């Protein structure tokens, strides 16, 4: 097991490789040696390290910090954004997509699940998951972050049909994996195939918006350059600033050893912080060239004090139903607007995208 490919620092890859000759990072983080990842994948299949399952769905449970979240793992049909079935909420950049597309071309596999959210209220899905979790789990393990995981295999075609029927009328919101979803779309167009070819699907982990264990964290911004922001309400400490943001369309700010809270007009603080403050400061300069991101507000303060940045901006956790509402309206949020925690580990389930072998 390993964390998702994009949250492992380069310095940590060797540590996961050293844990096992079969650690998933040998597939998900091969550097630029994509052919090596493909050879390794084929060897694991040939040697029985990876065992193909019959057509299956999976139920995944994670327990962390006294909380519990349930996710469904299944194959999701790829559809372009304009169909308004799969809804993005963040902007993407080309770099990560080029890397993942090269890896997908080489391995012909979806090596990690993309994470989606759905509104399951009234669908009957909670009853189905309750039935499944009443059985013994197929796998129990402790993940890289110390969280406890359980995985159930759902091989009953009747349950597959019931789950599929429940989810069929629902749009899904991409929680994590925008770059990889667009990569999967590009790969499907390259490879072609009929509507039910494996390449027309992606490996998906789906979570109900009402799941009490679903946790989203804010990502704070540090601006590398720009003029001071004025007109906010002065606050004495970081803790006081963060507390003032809860339930408000507002952002905190820190510069010159002073905290303030900036009231914002609109529905979502992260959108309005960029539109009303950051974009005005930067003008025509690209935000990605002048912004640093952290989930630790104290780190943001330290960066400003150390001169790494000129100002820090703090946000409260976003309201996911507002995120879904904006996504349904075709609106995208700035980069790193949401951070879902804990991320599902890599290595639980893989999905072969060519027809000769399915996993």
**Is the confidence at residue 157, as pLDDT, over 50?**
yes
Q: What percent of the chain has pLDDT over 90?
A: 80
Cα 343 to chain center, whole Å? 7
Residue 358 has pLDDT above 60, yes or no: no
Kindly state the average pLDDT of the residues 288-310: 95
CA distance 124 to 203: 23
pLDDT value at residue 96: 78
Q: At what angle do helices 157-167 and 125-133 cross, to 10 degrees?
A: 150
pLDDT at 200 over 80: yes
Looking at residue 144, its pLDDT comes to 80
| Residue 231, pLDDT score | 85
What mean pLDDT do residues 281-309 have?
93
pLDDT > 70: percent of the chain: 98
Cα 278 from chain centroid (whole Å)? 24
Q: Whose CA is closest to 261, among 279, 247, 281, 280?
A: 247
Helix locations, the chain, DSSP H: 10-19, 25-28, 34-46, 94-107, 125-133, 157-167, 178-191, 238-245, 269-272, 279-282, 297-305, 320-328
Q: What are phi and psi of 340, to 5 degrees?
A: -85, 140
The 3-class SS string of 122-189 reads CCCHHHHHHHHHCCCCCEEEECCCCCEEEEEEECCHHHHHHHHHHHCCCCEEEEECHHHHHHHHHHHH
β-pair partners for 351: 110
CA 219 to chain centre: 13
Mean pLDDT, the chain, as a whole number?
93
Position 212 pLDDT exceeds 60: yes
Going by C-alpha positions, the residue among 352, 354, 355 that lies closest to residue 41 is 352
Residue 357 reports pLDDT greater than 50: no
Mean pLDDT score, 105-132: 93
Contact call for residues 86 and 175 (beta carbons, < 8 A) = no
Mean pLDDT of 132-154: 94
- pLDDT at residue number 332: 83
Residue 162 has phi, psi (to 5 degrees) of -65, -40
Question: CA-based angle 139:142:147, to the nearest 5?
Answer: 120
Q: CA 62 to CA 205: how far, in whole Å?
A: 13
pLDDT tens profile 59-101: 999 999 999 999 999 999 999 999 999 999 887 766 778 999 9
Q: Is the pLDDT of residue 289 over 90?
A: no
Of 185, 8, 204, the C-alpha closest to 115 is: 204
How far apart are the C-alpha atoms of 88 and 287, rounded to whole Å? 20
């Amino acid at each position: 097991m390993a964390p998702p490919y994009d949250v492992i620092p380069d310095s940590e890859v060797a540590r996961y490789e050293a844990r096992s000759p079969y650690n998933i990072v040998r597939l998900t983080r091969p550097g630029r040696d994509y052919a090596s990842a493909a050879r390794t994948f084929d060897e694991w299949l040939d040697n029985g390290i990876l065992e193909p399952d019959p057509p299956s769905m999976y139920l995944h449970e994670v327990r962390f910090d006294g909380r519990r979240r349930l996710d469904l793992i299944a194959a999701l049909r790829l559809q372009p954004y304009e169909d308004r079935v799969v809804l993005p909420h963040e902007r993407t950049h080309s770099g990560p997509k080029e890397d993942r597309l090269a890896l997908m071309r080489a391995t012909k596999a979806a090596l990690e699940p993309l994470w989606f959210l759905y509104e399951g209220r009234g669908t009957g899905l909670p009853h189905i998951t309750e039935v499944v979790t009443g059985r013994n789990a197929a796998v129990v393990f402790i993940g890289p972050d110390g969280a406890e995981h359980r995985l159930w295999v759902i091989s009953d075609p009747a349950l597959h049909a019931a789950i599929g029927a429940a989810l069929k009328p629902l749009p899904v919101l991409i929680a994590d994996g925008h770059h990889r979803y667009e990569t999967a779309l590009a790969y499907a167009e390259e490879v072609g195939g009929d509507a039910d070819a494996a390449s027309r699907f992606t490996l998906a982990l789906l979570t109900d918006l009402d799941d009490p264990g679903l946790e989203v964290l804010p990502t704070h911004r540090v601006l590398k350059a720009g003029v001071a922001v004025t007109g906010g309400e002065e606050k004495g400490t970081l803790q006081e600033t963060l507390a003032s943001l809860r339930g408000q369309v507002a952002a905190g700010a820190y510069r010159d050893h002073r905290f303030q809270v900036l009231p914002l007009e609109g529905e979502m603080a992260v959108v309005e912080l960029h539109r009303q403050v950051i974009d005005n400061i930067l003008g025509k300069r690209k935000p990605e060239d002048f912004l640093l991101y952290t989930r630790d507000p104290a780190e943001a303060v330290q960066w400003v004090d150390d001169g790494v940045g000129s100002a820090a901006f703090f946000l409260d956790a976003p309201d996911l139903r507002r995120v879904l509402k904006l996504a349904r309206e075709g609106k995208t949020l700035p980069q790193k607007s949401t951070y879902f925690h804990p991320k599902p580990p890599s290595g639980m389930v893989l999905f072969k995208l060519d027809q000769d072998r399915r996993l």
